[in-house]
Amino acid sequence: MNHVTKKYPEYNYTYLSRLIFCLMTFLVSDLTIYAQSALLDSATLAAQPIFLSIRQALKDPEKVYRLSLDGLAVDLDLPAELEIEKFKNLQELRISGKCFKGDSLPECITKLPSLQILALSYTSFNFLPSSIGKLQKLEKLYIRGCLYALPEQIGQLKNLSSIHILESGIAVLPESIGNLKKLKSILLYYTPISNLPASIGRLDDLRILWLCGTKLTSIPIEIGSLKKLEKLKIESNYSLKTIPSEIFKLASLKKLEINENDKVMQFPSDFSGLINLEHLEICWSNIKTIPSMTGMKNLKYLKIAGNPNMLELPTSLNDLSSLEELVITDSRIESLPVNIKRLQKLSKVTIKNMENFNWESSMNSLSGCNIKVLNISENEFVVFPKSLGKMKMLEKFTYNSQLNSTAIEKFNWEESIKILAKIKTLKVIDLSKNKMRELTASIALFKKIDSLHIGNNNITDLKKLFFILNKIDLGYLSLQNSSIREIPVEIGELKLLKGIDLSGNLIDSIPDHIEQLKYLTSLNLSGQSDLIHDSPHDIQCLRYISPSLYKLTNLRWLNLSKNFCLKETKEEIRKKLPAECILEYDH
């Protein structure tokens, strides 16, 4: 026993008890603080309710994790600047409109200890305070339609993973952005940024970079240091003059889009460094040639569109052994390379609105591939190329023209359908939007068609149409937006039909003979959307549902939307349909 205990025997007990009490108080307090600041994971956070009113949120502020303040709906009698600090567990804050006074984000928001997501949309803020760096748990910063500058303290947000800036006045990114080592996504979309800091090359974990609608004249070569970059979009930068060669050495890049940069006249000489690229778009530029793509063994999707100075595709296209889809539109390219037949994984091709394209040669080359889907819309033909009939694996064919009336008169539908009929594997035929007056009888050369789309045409004689189609094993028929006013009883002859789309027409009734379509599972009778504001007495739409429709026992989907003349309620119709049928009806 020490001298203190000898002199004051009660001291030892009192001192120790007080010490223990203090320690316990500290621990409990610390645990309470920890419990209050424990962050919800992203899935749990997404499931939490979003409070739209400060008044409501203040009833139990510790249970508020998501708060959205709209300048048009905020509680004006509650000073948001004073109340916001009470939300210690707030992880997501969205501010739009003029919720706060002043041209800077209030300091009180930078004191929210749990804030992970901050979204500012069309606010009155021109600046962020220097104290923004205190939001050490902030992971996502979204800025739209506000701010003119970002402070250097933005570089103190060590947990920031995403920064998206859309339609703002921000012209410069601070050099400190290079300190954001956890940053994975930068989206710059229609904001007047004219220069990217070289420090962007220090973002070791960056995966996504969008540079769209900026005033950039160049891109720093340090972009080549982004070893983990997977998606890069460079689009609508009308002051941009060059694309640095370092971009084409980014081995981790999987998706690259270089579109609408009209002052870019050429690319570096070699794309082969993009060894893991899967998706490439080069559209609406003034380049003349595409560099060698020999090393791009993983490329699956290639789109080339609107490049008026490009007259041919590179021969290295034949080396893209993994290519699955090729899109070429609005171009002066004259033909596909002969050896494209080497691309045995190529299964989907779109060639639209071509000026001087050699169709016979190109279709002949494609016939050596395993093409299953082909779209040759918006091209002017007199007749489809004969070599089209050589495609032995084609399953879906689309031709939606933009022909004028003179060209339509010259188009030979009879011969064109005969060419298509040589393709025995064809299952889906889309000939909509062709101003076609009638479907040629040669369609009967197809013994079976899974799906036929002939809507948005001028076909008016449905009796003749159904007589022709009765000779085919037809699964689905689309006649949408065809100004049809009456469905003839001959519809009952299409006994094998499983689905029919009659939406957007002027039909006021359905004939009783529809009950003969015993296999029908899908029926779309929705009205015209552009009549939605007209008086029901003035518009032509479905007014009567035949009892025969309710005899379709296999019906699984019925769309009666935008039929404002029907008097029956949704519940009344629903009771008469098969229990498994889904009804869409907005009356």
pLDDT of the chain, 587 residues: tens digit per residue: 444 343 334 434 444 444 444 444 444 444 434 444 579 999 999 999 999 888 888 899 999 999 998 876 555 444 556 678 889 999 999 999 887 778 999 998 999 999 999 999 999 999 999 999 999 999 999 999 999 999 999 999 999 999 999 999 999 999 999 999 999 999 999 999 999 999 999 999 999 999 999 999 999 999 999 999 999 999 999 999 999 999 999 999 999 999 999 999 999 888 889 999 999 999 999 999 998 898 899 999 999 999 999 999 998 999 999 999 999 999 999 999 999 999 999 999 999 999 889 999 999 999 999 999 999 999 988 999 999 999 999 999 999 987 665 666 788 999 999 999 999 999 999 999 998 999 999 999 999 999 999 999 999 899 999 999 999 999 999 999 999 999 999 999 999 999 999 999 999 889 999 999 999 999 999 988 655 444 545 566 788 888 999 999 999 999 999 988 888 899 999 999 999 999 999 86
Q: What is the model's pLDDT at position 10?
A: 41
Q: Is 29 inside any structural domain? A: yes
Domain range for residue 467? 460-587
What are the beta bridge partners of residue 104? 127
Residue among 245, 235, 220 nearest 189 (CA): 235
CATH of residue 587's domain is: 3.80.10.10
Q: What is the model's pLDDT at position 94?
A: 95
CA distances from 117 to 121, 163, 396 (A): 13, 10, 45
| DSSP H or E run through 225 | none
Q: Is 468 inside any structural domain? A: yes
Q: Is 10 inside any structural domain? A: yes
Q: Is 449 inside any structural domain? A: no
Q: Is 97 inside any structural domain? A: no
Q: 3-class SS at 534?
A: coil
Contact present, 487 and 466 (Cβ < 8 Å): no
Q: Is 266 inside any structural domain? A: no
Contact present, 341 and 368 (Cβ < 8 Å): yes
- The amino acid present at 545, given as its one-letter code, is I
Q: Is 505 inside any structural domain? A: yes
CB hemisphere CA count around 313 (13 angstroms): 27
Is the sign of the CA dihedral 181, 187, 190, 194 positive or negative?
A: positive
Query: Which DSSP category does 284 fall into?
Result: S
Q: What is the model's pLDDT at position 530?
A: 57
**Can you give the pTM of this predicted structure?**
0.87
Q: What is the model's pLDDT at position 529?
A: 65
Residue among 121, 123, 118, 124 nearest 154 (CA): 118
Residues 6 or more apart in contact with residue 271 via CB below 8 angstroms: 248, 290, 291, 292, 293, 295, 296
Q: Is 573 inside any structural domain? A: yes
What are the beta bridge partners of residue 476? 451, 499
Q: What is the model's pLDDT at position 32?
A: 39
Q: What is the model's pLDDT at position 100?
A: 79
Count the residues in the chain: 587
Residues 6 or more apart in contact with residue 235 via CB below 8 angstroms: 210, 211, 212, 213, 257, 258, 259, 260, 261
Number of domains in the chain: 2
Q: What is the model's pLDDT at position 22?
A: 45
